[in-house]
Amino acid sequence: MTVAESDERTDVLTEEQRRRCMAANKGRNTKPELLLRKKLWSLGLRYRIGHNLPGRPDIVFVSRRLAIFVDGCFWHRCPEHFRMPKTNHDFWERKISRNVSRDAEVTAQLAAAGWQVLRIWEHELRQDFDGVVIRIQRTIGQ
């Protein structure tokens, strides 16, 4: 076994612990999504969630044909914050690359169907929450 192979298999958790840890990662209703939705609702902006569109956008303004995705920095390869895990590199490279390519495909499908797409990084919400809200308000023409 080479050093690279042993590095790929090194994990401080057992296989069962890792499985439970990964299963606990939420794909919907994450804290950044909930904070943004709560703010938009408090401003009187009425949206839909769980709308049947490609990629299942996090927030949808149907009448404005606007789909909003709140993308996690790790899962969607944020150019500012993403760091590839040192263990199991090949697995993570394939997984994250699939996520990024799927994001591009979904954005293209929605655009082709006449939808406008906003992709918001989770770090944008932490760094400039009010700026993100203003950007959404401007996009929907309010």
CB neighbour class for 119 (10 Å; exposed up to 12, middle 13-18, buried from 19): middle
Q: Note whether residue 69 is domain-resident.
A: yes
Does 120 map to a domain?
Answer: yes
Q: Sorting pLDDT into bands at 50, 70 and 90, what band is 133?
A: very high
Domain count across the chain:
1
Position 15 in a domain: no
Question: Looking at residue 4, what is its pLDDT?
Answer: 45
* Residue 39: CATH number of its domain: 3.40.960.10
Residue 105 maps to a domain:
yes
- Using one digit for the tens of pLDDT, what is the confidence trace for 57-108? 999 999 999 999 999 888 888 888 888 888 888 888 999 899 999 999 999 9
Q: Is residue 2 part of a domain?
A: no
φ/ψ of 116, rounded to 5, equals: -95, 140
Q: Are 133 and 40 in contact (CB under 8 A)?
A: yes
21 domain-assigned: no
Say if 126 falls within a structural domain.
yes
Please return the burial class of 97, using the count of CB atoms within 10 Å of its CB with bins 0-12, 13-18 and 19+: exposed
In a domain, 130, yes or no: yes
Handedness of CA 50, 54, 55, 61 (dihedral sign): negative
pLDDT digits (tens, 9 = 90+) for 4-32: 444 445 678 787 876 676 666 666 778 88
